[in-house]
Amino acid sequence: MQTIQLQAQRRKAGKAKQLRRAGLVPAIIYGRDQEPEPIALAAPQMVRLLNSGAHGVIQITVEDDGGRAENVMIRDVQQDPVRGDIIHVDFLRVSMTDKVQTTVPVTLAGDDKVPSGAVLQQLLYEVDVEGLPGDLPEAVTVDVSGLAVGDSITVANMAPPQGITVLNDPEQVVVQLVEIHQPAEEPAAEGEEAAPEAEADQQDDGGQD
């Protein structure tokens, strides 16, 4: 997973509203037995980061602190429930030599080879993983090209990248291939079947007159 670069500046406590009005997002860096560090980041770069679905290591350079860089991961994002504006972000310090846990998406490969008359049902769209920060994948890919109708793939069948452990329940179903049931043809109504016979009776009666 590629390390994302962000620029930040130190901030003073109690200035959150002023920062947001100035187009900045208040944030804090904490963890690894170090003092929490309040920072602020440009709102557009945070919006781009969240829209990209980034799950891995972020390197934040604090501009007015000698250009010092911190390796972090997002731990919490507070957003306005109505407008969706980013209100505050929590970053956790990480070491590139210590394993961390995060959540990554599940993507499918080979789904274009689904046989006719069947449909894929994806039941798990993200998984919890553990590994070194530099080994964390953008996503865990599941190959479904060999599935037959009725087959399923569980967490235990997944093949994450080397050094990565999936932490979900091994029996949890990720995806399954099910048959599409065609609606049965409805039998003709009794009245519709009797109509020709009734018509024939009427013709016979007409011939006797």
- Centroid of chain to Cα 201: 68
What whole-number distance in Å separates Cα of residue 1 and Cα of residue 129?
13
- The lowest-confidence range among 12-16, 73-77, 157-161 is 12-16
- CATH 2.170.120.20 assigned to domain 101-179? The reply is yes
The CATH class for the domain spanning 4-94 reads mainly beta
Per-domain boundaries in the chain: 4-94, 101-179
Residue 12: pLDDT band with limits 50, 70, 90: confident
- Residue 203's pLDDT is 53
The mean per-residue pLDDT over the stretch 91-118 comes to: 92
Note if the pTM is more than 0.85: no
Which of the pair, 207 or 62, is modelled with greater confidence?
Answer: 62
When pLDDT is averaged across residues 133-143 and rounded to a whole number, the result is 93
Residue 202 has pLDDT above 80, yes or no: no
User: What pLDDT score does 163 carry?
Assistant: 95
pLDDT confidence of residue 18: 86
Query: Residue 198 is encoded by which pair of tokens?
Result: 């009734």
Share of the chain above pLDDT 90, in %: 59
Does the pLDDT value for residue 147 go beyond 80?
A: yes
CA distance linking residue 139 with residue 161, whole number of Å: 10
CA nearest neighbour of 70 among 137, 161, 8: 8
69 three-state secondary structure: strand
Rounded to the nearest integer, the mean pLDDT of the chain is: 86
* pLDDT for the residue 189: 60
Give pLDDT tens digits for 25-45. Answer: 999 999 998 999 999 999 999
| Rounded Cα gap, residues 10 and 66, in angstroms | 11
DSSP secondary-structure letter at 112? G
Q: What pLDDT shows up at residue 84? A: 87
Q: How confident is the model at residue 53 (pLDDT cuts 50, 70, 90)?
A: confident
Q: Which residue has the higher pLDDT, 19 or 158?
A: 158
